A = this chain, B = another copy of it.
């Protein structure tokens, strides 16, 4: 057992060192910096074993060793030491959660910017509302031109959606007003996913003059389907260029190109499961372009039903400890902010 413990420690030392330097680490480095009781030769033997076990790779014969993805997996699952944040870092993160920020958009953008600047990785922040939880709170039709009006839907969580309706026949502003009032009352509390259906049903029992409007609404109402992405922001894409793993411009290009594709980012963030944190390493991300990257995601359920998912993207040798500390600090600050918001009714 003692031996195994030693192998463990050596592997951990190698990973720690590699995360720090991005340079293949040799036996001598370990013996000097981490395990002074052992000679480099001993370390070499252990390293040789670790390589055979699949935890280390050697770029070539006379370079040091580099941790494999399997090693990172073990590292994240078992070896992770929390990296405490500095006072400044904590304060900075806190300061980003200003309860007066109203727009979801602005909130996600700020968080993405802040997280990328604290971690020096790329940050992606997404706020979505699971479709099942969205209910109509209020509905309003606003005239825009003679045959065109704006349909505004407000959900119970305070989100606002808007659709332009093209009408078959002109309708007077006052009538739109009446329709809004009636429908608003009838449909309050209706889940968004069933809205279209409800409207169709209502349309048949509506006086001719209004039927056109109501069926136009039924058409434009959001279809049942995936969740609603209320907001997505990515910050610090260019941060990744600092890391030697992307000094190859072609690699960098293909990675940055992925990070420009909204759908792929949403995909990456949506893989997040039930647990609070998730770490995906290299190929586990599921994207060929990201096989040298890791993504750490965290998900927070806000009180109004919205779900906030954060992803930090960096090289596989990213500072997992620090990243997780940052994310849990974010979770804490987020909680405090929401409490404060609800506490000042």
Using CB atoms and an 8 Å cutoff, list the residues of chain A in contact with chain B: 102-103, 109, 137-138, 140, 142-148, 150, 152, 154, 158, 160, 162-164, 166, 177, 181, 235-238, 241-242, 246-247, 249, 252-253, 256-257, 259-260, 262, 344-345
Smallest beta-carbon distance A38→chain B, Å: 38
| A140 to B146 CA separation, bound complex (whole angstroms) | 20
CB–CB A256/B235 < 8 A? no
CB–CB A144/B158 < 8 A? yes
Q: Other than the known A140-B142, A237-B256, what 11 A-B pairs have Cβ atoms closer than 8 Å?
A: A138-B143, A140-B140, A140-B152, A150-B154, A160-B160, A177-B181, A236-B260, A237-B237, A238-B256, A238-B259, A241-B252
Smallest beta-carbon distance A12→chain B, Å: 31
Q: Which residues of B contact A109 (CB under 8 A)?
A: 262
CB–CB A145/B345 < 8 A? yes
| A156 to B344 CA separation, bound complex (whole angstroms) | 34
CB–CB A345/B147 < 8 A? yes
Q: Which residues of B contact A259 (CB under 8 A)?
A: 238
Kindly report which residue of chain B lies nearest to residue A253, judged by CB atoms.
B241
Kindly report which residue of chain B lies nearest to residue A176, judged by CB atoms.
B138
Q: Which residues of B contact A163 (CB under 8 A)?
A: 102
Task: Indicate how many identical chains form the complex.
Answer: 2
A-B CB contact pairs (8 Å), 19 listed: A102-B163, A102-B164, A103-B162, A137-B142, A140-B140, A142-B154, A147-B345, A148-B345, A150-B158, A150-B160, A152-B152, A152-B160, A158-B164, A160-B160, A166-B344, A177-B181, A238-B257, A241-B249, A247-B249
* Residue picked from A102, A138, A160, A246, most chain B C-beta under 10 Å: A138
Q: Which residues of B contact A252 (CB under 8 A)?
A: 241, 249, 252
Kindly report which residue of chain B lies nearest to residue A145, judged by CB atoms.
B345
Q: Which residues of B contact A144 (CB under 8 A)?
A: 137, 158
Smallest beta-carbon distance A101→chain B, Å: 10
Question: Which 5 pairs across A and B sit closest by C-beta, in order of nearness?
Answer: A238-B256, A241-B253, A238-B257, A138-B142, A147-B345
Kindly report which residue of chain B lies nearest to residue A244, judged by CB atoms.
B249
Kindly report which residue of chain B lies nearest to residue A259, judged by CB atoms.
B238
Q: Which residues of B contact A143 (CB under 8 A)?
A: 137-138
* Residue picked from A103, A147, A253, most chain B C-beta under 10 Å: A253
Q: Which residues of B contact A150 (CB under 8 A)?
A: 154, 158, 160
Smallest beta-carbon distance A320→chain B, Å: 24
| A237 to B162 CA separation, bound complex (whole angstroms) | 30
Smallest beta-carbon distance A296→chain B, Å: 21
Smallest beta-carbon distance A4→chain B, Å: 42
Q: Which residues of B contact A103 (CB under 8 A)?
A: 162
Q: Which residues of B contact A345 (CB under 8 A)?
A: 145-148
Kindly report which residue of chain B lies nearest to residue A254, judged by CB atoms.
B238
Q: Which residues of B contact A137 (CB under 8 A)?
A: 142-144
Q: Which residues of B contact A238 (CB under 8 A)?
A: 253, 256-257, 259-260
Smallest beta-carbon distance A196→chain B, Å: 16
